[in-house]
Structure 1
């Protein structure tokens, strides 16, 4: 005689069986393995690794560029008042929202240590894995403890976002309304970047002061503008630094316009424009070795990884390569190409570019895939 009893409660998966006097206990699906499977399903990317990657991509986190917000009345109100559950940091592209959040996370982690669980998730519009509401919820649940959560959200100054978040339980911080604090933070960022450039390039005191003055006068309180200009100066021989400096216009969009005009005058203008076109429409970052399959390039480029790296490097500072993956330096760079320079990047239209990528993807697959004879 034999019998089997199953339990569907908290010990789901546990069975007891008796057969010919022998008793066996079998754990078909231990609860720990179920928990691990749940975590694997929730995790699209690791938020902690995303934070490190973002900081490294932006050249590291400078404390002087974010510490101002810790002393703001809105932040302290959010931190101390239990009725204020949401701190909303909003600002235009390139104002330093992401790095501001990285700094806040570090400071809260240092302040509370193991006494509180600090959960976070970084969205990136260019990465399909982490650019939607479902991914956000999955990422937060992955690292969330239900005991307490206060929330920090950053966004652009979009009316539809303001409509949803502008409530009495929200402590909003507008970077535009805190212009003095942001400007001071940008000024410290400029000092840091110029000091580093001067050390590497061995600028004279006069050259260093001229660069500092130009950046301070034209940055318009935008970290990204400063970073892009300093990146260009880092590639420029010391003797041409001041002449190069005069070519940088004030404002982010004006700088992007100058960058795309430079691309059009390059010897490798056509390959650059093709690469920018593909990168502007793909739904995720492209691995370096995938690019040749997606972009119609001359043979001397598609078969030469070193030469291809050089072309990507001169694509007007729109793109960068991190861990063998090609990404935009900032979402605003992609938006500029899609909205302001479609005629340059997509002479045949965006739809035609989608069709080209689709066709080339099929061609690439046909080289390796074979029909199943069964």
Structure 2
């Protein structure tokens, strides 16, 4: 489909053919930003595709250029780590619709102006189509594994269901086969917060000197609460006051947890585009593998030859264990080999990004099988 540039950190591939989308449109000139770690072996069979979560990016195991922080899975990916780059060729692309180099609403449209809300509405399956175009350009046929947590897990499942010969192993962590109604509701609150900000300007805020930072900050605050557990919030903050001896009897950030959320929201606006947030969360809301396959989740995997591993966390209330159990039942009904484990972790949904040593062992063991 296209020829990749030399493989370096944050290489950008431009597709030479239009990318077909589920909405019925095709998107020309798609650019895909990605990072790679390790080397593709002579047999071409050691590639591991890692798909990032909602507001993640391609900076998997290297310093983020905006925040200066280590990669979001630096503890997991590297020489001798759970995903060992001495053995595996690891590829992490920025998803379609995002704002870290891959085509999205902030990218130039054919008229040279940012797409803004003219960018077509995308789906998780569209994101995976872009990933596969990248793999083709890199000379990767069948993956050793596709791995993802949260929205990354949805991408992994979509790849397995729609392109059943492209991966030998599928590892979905804290994921789901369909977006539950409660999560759609949370995402709608975030989108409405962005669109209610006067600086959103119907999405055409680029080059105006104003952006809907207040709305995006509130959206991030609301979403961040869902990523954590009550135990984490209680232990980390409790009802402790922030830099004061008594309540202010006003509406400043009296409590430490309030200050923390405000910080999370404000820092998020420095690295993420508000329109990308709208498009990516909409893609997640639309995600429903059973609907794509006529109503039965098991039918999504009838042609799949891959081995599956599903991981959930006992404190994750955003994608609780029942979502992974439903996936396991569907895979069993389809005759697909699947292992499933619920891990104990205090951190809630974000556990897959934090220090959970048992998760490291599960991932390393599954990739070795």
The TM-score, its normalising length taken from structure 1, stands at 0.24
More helix by share: 1
Structure with the greater relative contact order (CA < 8 A, sep ≥ 6): 1 or 2? 2
Rg: which structure is higher? Answer: 1
The TM-score, its normalising length taken from structure 2, stands at 0.24
